[in-house]
Structure 1
Amino acid sequence: MTHSHFRFADEWLAVDGHFPQAGDTLPSFMLVDEQLRDVSLEHFLGHDKLVVTLLSLDAPMAGLALLQELRRQLEPWPQLQLIVITVDSPFSLARARKEHGLPYATLLSTLRGRDFHKHFGVLIQDVPLSGMTCPALWLADGDDRIYHAQRLRHEDDEFDFAGLRQQLAARFSTLPR
């Protein structure tokens, strides 16, 4: 098990679990969608995907605003499956979709998938965010092989969008305008 930190306000919070890196395979999961249905990683087999964890869609920084920026960055690659995972309840996910649209994003809750946190190395251990998922992302192919992985270290950080776009352009041989 690896140990990292996430800065929230003025505190460094411990983040535990094995963080999968480029070259690894995404660990399997079983999570819950906004309709209370179980959804596994196998549901996305054969599709290139971007798996993203956020603190919460309601978080002021590492939440909805970060997701909306990520969606803007992904516009040139509509074939990419965007899978967003938070500790939010399925009811909160449904509300967020109703209020903000969030097209082309699969929203999943860790409600019945608490092992997800450790298998993906995003389990925040310390108060006040203990039990939440540290913001992170993994770009993976249809066989779940990871091409790009990043875990944020501060609530105000953004993902390395330039690096992600470079990986996407190389993967899909398509340069965005």
Structure 2
Amino acid sequence: MAQHFLRYGDESMAVGGSFPEAGQLLPSFMLVDEHLRDVALERFLGRTKLIVTLLSLDAEQGGLALLQQLRRKLEGWPLLQFIVISVDSPFSLHRARKEHGLPNVVLLSTLRGRDFHKHFGVLLQDYPLAGMTCPALWLVDDDDRILYAQRLENADDDFDLAAIRNALLAKLPG
């Protein structure tokens, strides 16, 4: 598989790790929520999930604005569980929830799950964002099989909403 890069302003940064693709089972994880509780992927078994990694909820590019745009465009899917993962501390996640609401969104930190970056192929390896998570998403079915996966190539880009909708529609029974 070719090396992936994220463009952020004038910088092009290598992204490391093994990116799970459509058709594969999503690797398990254990991350931390805004209340300092450990949360495993298995907690969401039986639900269709949209798992999104962001640079940071505080980032101007690849952050909160990207998440809010995604939520607005997918409002018609109320049973879709949004899970947002970033390197932000649980305290920052708590502050973001208080300031922006983010109803029906699970916010998780990689604070105690540093292996997540490599297992999900979102580890930014180069300065100035080394150690952060590349903006990416996985649409995952009730049994944790990936229906659609995308990693952004530019922090200014948006996710492919048409492809996400198509994958959701293809999942619907008959």
TM-score (norm 2): 0.97
| CA distance in 2: counterparts of 1:173 and 1:10, whole angstroms | 45
1:71-90 superposed matches below 5 A: 71-90=71-90
| CA distance in 1: counterparts of 2:139 and 2:75, whole angstroms | 15
* Other-structure match for 1:95: 95
Amino acid at match of 1:43: R
Amino acid at match of 2:22: A
Long gaps (5+) in structure 2: none
* Other-structure match for 1:47: 47
The alignment status of 1:153 with 2:153, answered yes or no, reads: yes
Question: In the TM superposition, what is the alpha-carbon distance from 1:171 to its structure 2 partner?
Answer: 1.7
Question: In the TM superposition, what is the alpha-carbon distance from 1:169 to its structure 2 partner?
Answer: 2.1
Q: CA RMSD in A?
A: 1.4
Q: Deviations over 1:19-56 (max 9, x none)?
A: 00000111110000000000000111111101100000
Retained in 2: the 8 A contact 1:90–1:108?
yes
* Other-structure match for 1:36: 36
| CA distance in 2: counterparts of 1:2 and 1:26, whole angstroms | 20
* Other-structure match for 2:164: 164
| CA distance in 2: counterparts of 1:20 and 1:73, whole angstroms | 24
| CA distance in 2: counterparts of 1:2 and 1:34, whole angstroms | 35
Question: In the TM superposition, what is the alpha-carbon distance from 1:11 to its structure 2 partner?
Answer: 1.4
The alignment status of 1:9 with 2:9, answered yes or no, reads: yes
| CA distance in 2: counterparts of 1:141 and 1:173, whole angstroms | 13
Question: In the TM superposition, what is the alpha-carbon distance from 1:2 to its structure 2 partner?
Answer: 6.2
Retained in 2: the 8 A contact 1:2–1:18?
no
* Other-structure match for 1:25: 25
Long gaps (5+) in structure 1: none
| CA distance in 2: counterparts of 1:130 and 1:25, whole angstroms | 27
Q: Deviations over 1:75-104 (max 9, x none)?
A: 111101100000000000000000000001
Question: In the TM superposition, what is the alpha-carbon distance from 1:61 to its structure 2 partner?
Answer: 1.6
| CA distance in 2: counterparts of 1:74 and 1:173, whole angstroms | 19
Retained in 2: the 8 A contact 1:24–1:145?
yes
* Other-structure match for 1:125: 125
Q: What's the secondary structure of 1:39's corresponding residue?
A: strand
Amino acid at match of 1:166: N
| CA distance in 1: counterparts of 2:39 and 2:167, whole angstroms | 27
Amino acid at match of 2:128: P
Structure 1 outlier segments of 4+, above 2 Å = none
Q: Deviations over 1:89-123 (max 9, x none)?
A: 00000000000000010000000000000000000
